[in-house]
């Protein structure tokens, strides 16, 4: 059964396959040198960096906040990723939210996003985030349904982003 886990090297091969899938547009991977990450040592360094982002003092771009990164895996198969931002900047409050997630194209339309968000809520509780702000694009009907299934209460729409508060308890 798939589960949210902290980033792990055991999914190295399938993570590389996922980010290479056509139509996968992981904005979070824009600055990654994917060729370099084929090397197991470099991938292990990347994984350690992903885990470290949950700490307050980890190096990160200006304006970014500590975030817990979780990968949705089924054994050694990478299915998607989710991030929980520990606090909100003004931009995150208006557009990005506490939680962001994506599922690799070959695994979409199977309920993974719904389950990922469900499994993220206990992590939010541990981080004292309750309720969690989750946003989606106005035209992203699938993501809207995921958020609503998780109990998300619609707040408002800001410049094409729908904002929902999802109870974590």
Q: What is the pLDDT of residue 29?
A: 67
Name the H helices within 53-161.
90-91, 112-126, 141-149
Contact in structure between 74 and 1 (CB atoms under 8 Å):
yes
Model's pTM, two decimal places? 0.94
Contact in structure between 104 and 117 (CB atoms under 8 Å):
no
Q: Domain residue spans in the chain? A: 3-129
Q: What is the pLDDT of residue 27?
A: 65
CA–CA gap between residue 156 and residue 94 (Å, rounded) = 10
Name the H helices within 21-71.
40-52
| Of 144, 156, 28, residue with least CA distance to 85 | 28
Q: What is the pLDDT of residue 137?
A: 96
Burial group, residue 111, by CB count within 10 angstroms (0-12, 13-18, 19+): middle
What is 3-129's CATH number?
3.40.630.30
The stretches in the chain having pLDDT less than 70 are 26-30
CB atoms within 10 A of CB 90: 8
| Of 112, 109, 113, 111, residue with least CA distance to 100 | 113
Q: What is the pLDDT of residue 34?
A: 85
Q: What is the pLDDT of residue 4?
A: 98
Structure token pair of residue 111? 């309920």
Q: What is the pLDDT of residue 26?
A: 65
CA–CA gap between residue 105 and residue 86 (Å, rounded) = 27
């Amino acid at each position: 059964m798939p589960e949210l886990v902290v980033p792990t090297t055991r999914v190295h091969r399938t993570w590389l396959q996922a980010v290479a899938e056509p139509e996968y547009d992981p904005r979070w991977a824009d600055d990654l040198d994917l060729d370099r990450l084929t090397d197991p040592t470099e991938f292990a360094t990347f994984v350690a960096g992903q885990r470290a982002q949950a700490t307050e003092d980890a190096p990160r771009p200006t304006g970014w906040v500590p975030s817990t990164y979780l990968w949705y895996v089924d054994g050694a198969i990478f299915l998607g990723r989710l991030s929980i931002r520990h606090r909100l900047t003004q931009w995150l409050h208006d557009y990005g939210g506490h939680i962001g997630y994506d599922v690799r194209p070959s695994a979409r339309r199977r309920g993974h996003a719904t389950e990922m968000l469900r499994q993220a809520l206990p992590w939010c509780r541990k981080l004292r985030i309750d309720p969690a702000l989750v946003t989606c694009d106005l035209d992203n009907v699938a993501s809207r349904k995921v958020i609503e299934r998780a109990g998300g209460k619609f707040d408002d729409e800001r410049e094409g982003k729908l904002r929902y508060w999802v109870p974590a308890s």
